[in-house]
């Protein structure tokens, strides 16, 4: 047997992917919560944005990434992309029933709980595809009774983050313009695209300190721990995990490293 073969499946890495560098906002949280695990991050920046593509297109791209991970191989996959989760998660799970495959969806639940107690509307910012898909409509049908929930796509923000401009003045103007109509009644903001948390300092400035901002990364980290545990795949060691970065556009790898280390402030 080759020396690189790991005999214990729990020692294999976890594959994490996104349409680009956005999923690194999730990866950061996974590494914080599971510091003994090895992670491999793949960003598909050459094909970003996914959010303005068709669901079939996003499914095809996601399948290719999972096939790539399986050649490593990995012990689990995290789809660190709300868009790819709505378009591909169920098909990927059916195709690979033995591979724990986790997705991410907009953190609507805690936002609704918050406004039910404190009042105000919920604004969910995400890609056009995520907001259009049945998965999101079902989520609102299930949970959203009695609260005004506004869907606010922000496709340009993905491009700005991919261009390393998450905290540029032009990005702030764009976000201020988008959010302005909702500000008077805003009770909670949901960042339903994994690129958006990199603009957290701007969002915090725009909405002010009194409006909570939710994203789904913590939920995914908790769920990943549960799933690994349930499959006997949690690594015994508590620290010393590694993180590998890969991207279909090699020019984005340096940006990925930078975003992984970025200080986004107290909400992160």
Instruction: Give residues in contact with ligand DGL (CB under 6 A).
Output: 18-20, 22, 48-51, 81-83, 127, 130, 158, 193-195
CA–CA dist 237, 220 (Å, integer): 20
Kindly give the interhelix angle for 169-179 and 155-162, rounded to the nearest 10 degrees: 170
CB of 256 to ligand DGL, least distance (A): 13
Q: Which residue number places its CB atom closest to ligand DGL?
A: 51
**Catalytic positions:** 81, 193
CB of 51 to ligand DGL, least distance (A): 3
CB of 48 to ligand DGL, least distance (A): 4
Three-state DSSP class for residue 119: coil
208 exposed, middle or buried (CB, 10 Å; 0-12, 13-18, 19+)?
exposed
Encode 69-103: b = buried (16+ Cβ within 10 Å), e = exposed. beeeebbbbbbbbbbbbbbbbeebeeebeebbbbb
CB of 254 to ligand DGL, least distance (A): 19
- CA–chain centroid gap for 70, Å, is 21
* Residue 20 vs 187, nearer CB to ligand DGL: 20
Structure tokens given for 82: 């709300």
CA–CA dist 152, 149 (Å, integer): 10
CA–CA dist 243, 250 (Å, integer): 16
């Amino acid at each position: 047997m080759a020396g690189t073969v790991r005999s214990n499946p729990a020692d294999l890495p976890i594959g994490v992917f996104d349409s680009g560098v956005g999923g690194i906002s999730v990866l950061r949280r996974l590494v914080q919560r599971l510091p003994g695990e090895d992670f491999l991050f793949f960003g598909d920046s050459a094909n970003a944005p996914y959010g303005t593509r068709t669901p079939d297109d996003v499914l095809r791209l996601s399948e290719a990434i999972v096939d790539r991970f399986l050649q490593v191989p990995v012990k689990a996959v995290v789809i660190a992309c709300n868009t790819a989760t709505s378009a591909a998660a169920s098909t990927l799970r059916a195709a690979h029933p033995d591979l724990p495959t986790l997705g991410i969806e907009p953190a609507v639940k805690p936002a609704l709980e918050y406004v039910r107690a404190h009042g105000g509307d919920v604004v969910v910012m995400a890609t056009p595809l995520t907001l259009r898909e049945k998965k999101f409509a079902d989520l609102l049908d299930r949970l959203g009774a009695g609260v005004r929930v506004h869907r606010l796509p922000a496709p340009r923000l993905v491009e700005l983050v991919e261009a390393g401009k998450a905290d540029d003045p032009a990005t702030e103007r764009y976000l201020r313009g988008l959010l302005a109509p909702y500000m008077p009644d805003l009770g909670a903001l949901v960042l339903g695209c994994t690129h958006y948390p990199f603009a957290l300092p701007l969002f915090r400035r725009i909405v002010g300190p009194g409006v909570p901002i939710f994203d789904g990364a913590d939920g995914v980290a908790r769920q990943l721990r549960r799933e690994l545990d349930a499959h006997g795949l949690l690594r015994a060691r508590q620290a010393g995990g590694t993180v590998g970065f890969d991207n279909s556009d090699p020019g984005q790898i340096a940006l990925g490293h930078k975003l992984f280390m970025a200080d986004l402030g107290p909400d992160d």
